Chains A and B, each alone.
Chain A
């Protein structure tokens, strides 16, 4: 596989559930990101990882917990979410520091009921 792969594509979860989103990149990139896209809002940066180390947490509530075991894999662990957390969650990767565009995955459409 090439590019950035996200699983699952769709997820419906109750507010008391615990689930995880997975992202995998096969591009040899060193930086990975989680973004949230809600309706009629800009893409919101959630977390940034560079060389497996978290370098940015954009004031994300603790019910979202990222994990980056290596430069190719990124997880977003979810627990006790709220209905307003329903959104498209996008993973992206880039080569590293400097002026580069991102390669995005297809996203996980999350619905919290």
Chain B
């Protein structure tokens, strides 16, 4: 049972345009959400997170939006740069509820930014 779902496994976008990645979750107890970025032959690196008490968090070119009623979050990258070409994983945690820090991950989205 996959609790975190990332559809549209790949995305190609022109440099300078916006990249939008979507993520849906099924567990209503999730209260913390993260995006990780992964280059080939490297481990995922933390990108940005959002708590369920907020609906938006921004960090430079990266913004995450959370819609709790729809159990949906999205990552916006603007403007997209060639160095953003990577796989992006959505992850969710119910740490405050379950008292643990287990993360559930989606399958990932491959982003290719075309120069």
Contact = CB atoms under 8 A, between A and B. Distances in A.
Nearest to A55: B100
A48 B102 contact: yes
Interface stretch (B13-21, B41-49, B56-64): B41-49
Interface residues of A, number: 29
Contacts of A104: 36, 43-45
Contacts of A42: 2, 4, 104-108
B101 A41 contact: no
B68 to A, nearest CB: 15
Contacts, number: 67
8 interchain residue pairs of minimum CB distance? A104-B43, A99-B32, A99-B95, A43-B105, A101-B46, A42-B107, A106-B43, A98-B95
Interface centre among B2, B32, B43 (most CB of A within 10 A): B43
Interface of B: 2, 4, 9, 31-32, 34, 36, 41-46, 49, 51, 89, 91, 93, 95-96, 99-108
Interface of A: prevailing SS: loop
B33 to A, nearest CB: 10
Given A102-B103, A107-B43, 11 more contacts: A42-B4, A55-B100, A97-B95, A97-B100, A97-B101, A98-B96, A98-B99, A99-B93, A99-B96, A101-B36, A104-B44
